[in-house]
Every structure is written in C-alpha cells, then in structure tokens.
A and B are shown apart, each in its own frame.
Chain A
C-alpha cells in the first residue's frame, strides 16, 4: 500500500517539475515538439530508475558504513555521470534504433537537477530499497507527464499571435504556472 502512495505522490501530487522546480532546464528547452518531449521523458525515466537503484546501495553500504555521509553530493554526482555514460554506451551497442531516438538527450540528463534531487530526497525520506526504486520510476513518470503536456500546449501555441515580449521562454513559464495550479488539484487525492 505504501508503494502505491509513493507512486501517486511522486508522479502527481509532488510532481518534481511543477512543485519542486527540479528539471526546469529540459522542461523548457526540449518541450517544443511532442515527439522529442516524449523521448526525453522516457530517457529520463530510465536513468532515474537506475539512479535510485545505484545510489541507494552507495549511500547505505559505503557512505554510511565508513561514516562519511558528507561526501554524498560528490559521490552521487559521480555515480550519475558514470551511469549516464554507461547507459549511453550500452544502448549504442544493443539497440541502435533506440540510440538514435534517445542519443542526444542522454548527456543532458547528467545536468538535470531532478536526477540529483531524486537521490537527495530518497536519502532525506529514509526510503528502503524497493521504495527508492518505485520513487525513482514514479518521479520519471511525473516528469514525462509534465513535459509531454507542456509540449502539447506549445505546439498549439505556435500559430497564436503572442505579444512580442512574452514570446519564447516567458510564455512557457507562465503556462507552467497554470499547469502547477492545475496539479494542485491532485493534492486532494491522499488524505491521512
């Protein structure tokens, strides 16, 4: 039951993009076409799930055991960078088609603050191993949802007559504000 709560909470109620403001750079940068947005979302979900699976043992079995938890930022960022690199190499070898679809997005994920944020939140909230993996996956799903919806709205706006100062990033942010307001409605889903 707790796993379902974690899933709903991380993907909808506490959506990383719209309530914690993590992963705004790709959210604004790659959301101009639905197809790209979907690929970016899938790549991020994949990396997030793996990140949770890898950083949890690193934290519990290395940092805590040797009593150096203050090194967590350095350890996590290195783990994430290495992980992204490995995933890229593996996909390139095993599935060239998938690599063509995700290729350019993978390096960007290293600097996606949602991925590091996920690892930090996981430690703060004391999740166990299974919960952490679910949390990582759900966060990715939430990210995908937000970025795909955003790209849908932006595609519609392409032909709209927007006042000049609002064009581009300014309007994207204001739309994100509206979406954040809509997502606040999900807060009623879980009580107690």
Chain B
C-alpha cells in the first residue's frame, strides 16, 4: 500500500517539474500566450483547463475498453467538447467578467493539445485513479506555469500583480509586455531558463557520477 502511495505521488509530481506543461511538453501554447496578460485571467484559464482535463481523463480512462481504436480520437474530442461547453457555461454564469475577458479562448480548450495529449498518452492506457492523479499533476503544473508567466507580464506591463502595485511610481510600464510580442518573448525566455537549469543539473550529475 505504501509503495502504491509513493507511485501515485510520483505521478502527481512529474506534472510539476519533469513534464511541466507548457514548458517541457510544448503543448497548449495558444492559451498560454493569449490569456497571460494578467494574473487573474491566467489562473482562471488554468483552473478551467484543470477542470476539463480532470474529468476528461476520468471519463476516457473509464470507457477506454469500450471504444475501438479507429474512432478513439473522434470519441475523445466529442467528450472534451462537451466538458468544455460545461466549463464555458459555468464561467459565463458565475464569473461573467472573467468569461468575457477570456472570450473565445475558453472554447478553444477543446483543441488544447494538453488534454488530447494526456487522453492519448495516459488515460487510454491506465486505470481511473492514476489517470485522475495524472490530470491533477499536469493541471496544477499548468496553473503554476500560467501564474508565473502572467506575473512576469503583468508586473512588467502594468507594474502590478493581481491589481496591486508592486513596482513604484518610478517604474515606466513596458507596454510591449502585455501585447502579443511580449508574450512570445517571455515564453521563449522562460523555456531557455528551464533548459539552462536542467542542463546545469545534468552536468553536475555527470561530474559527480
């Protein structure tokens, strides 16, 4: 039992660093770039994605033995599209302001490759509980990534985080950071930073071993 717990924790943890989307698995880049101009939008998008990912992994893992492999992608896409519709209607009813700010990017979760990628790469081969944990890990990693990216962009673009001023009046906001160009540049630099850290790590391991 204890061993089982350890491996479930491992499933969860791999989403947080080893396979953290979208930096390691370069999936789901479109919403990452589009909605991270403020922390609030970024985190809301992350939560919506986590919701869809969690339920799609559970459902797909539960029905995996009944879907023939020729039609599986189509079946997954329909399941995901229905879940996204639920998430979209929920957001529109409960948080209309956020729903408006995210606009068409909520429906675009349908084609967010993270979700189809996890369905194809994990849920269709594994039982329900590990698939659930996998979704939680990847989803949490995704929220963290979106939060980090949107904090950087909001801090540099508006001088604030979550609407609170973090940089003083001396700071001239870099408007470019909240424009599309800034999104690409921050995203590219973050990937480079993560590459740099892991290359240092593996170099250190080689030197030791």
Contact = CB atoms under 8 A, between A and B. Distances in A.
Nearest to A113: B111
- Top-9 shortest CB links A-B: A177-B184, A173-B188, A174-B188, A177-B185, A165-B196, A21-B33, A180-B181, A165-B195, A170-B191
Interface of A is mostly: helix
Contacts of A81: 74, 77
Contact of B104 (A111, A124, A169, A172): A124
B133 interface: no
B84 A21 contact: no
Contacts of B27: 25
Given A19-B180, A112-B111, A116-B110, A74 B30 contact: no
A112 to B, nearest CB: 7
Nearest to A15: B180
A23 to B, nearest CB: 7
7 contacts: A77-B110, A113-B112, A163-B192, A170-B191, A174-B185, A180-B179, A184-B181
B10 interface: no
A82 B21 CA distance: 29
Interface string B180-209: 111111011101110110010000000000
Interface of A: 18-25, 28, 70-74, 77-78, 81, 111-113, 116-117, 120-121, 124, 163-167, 169-174, 176-178, 180-181, 184
Nearest to A114: B30
A174 B108 CA distance: 24
Interface in B59-79: 74, 77-78
Given A20-B34, A24-B33, A111-B111, A74 B82 contact: yes
Name the residue in A81, A169, A171 with the highest tally of chain B Cβ atoms < 10 Å from its Cβ: A169
Contacts of A112: 111
Interface residues of B, number: 42
Contacts of B97: none
A167 B196 CA distance: 11
A25 B179 contact: no
A120 B107 contact: yes
A113 B195 contact: no
Given A18-B180, A166-B192, A117 B81 contact: no
Contact of A120 (B26, B74, B85, B104): B104
A25 B184 contact: no
Given A171-B188, A174-B189, A73 B30 contact: no
Interface of B: 26-27, 29-31, 33-34, 74, 77-78, 81-82, 84-85, 88-89, 103-104, 107-108, 110-113, 116, 176, 179-185, 187-189, 191-193, 195-196, 199
Contacts of B82: 74
B108 A120 contact: yes
Given A21-B29, A28-B26, A121-B104, A181 B181 contact: yes
Contacts of A77: 77-78, 81, 110-111
A28 B29 contact: yes
Contacts of A178: 181
B111 A70 contact: no
Nearest to A121: B104
Contact of B85 (A18, A70, A174, A180): A70
Contacts of B180: 18-19, 21, 177, 180, 184
A1 B111 CA distance: 34
Nearest to A81: B74
Given A24-B30, A164-B195, A180-B180, A173 B187 contact: yes
Nearest to B104: A120
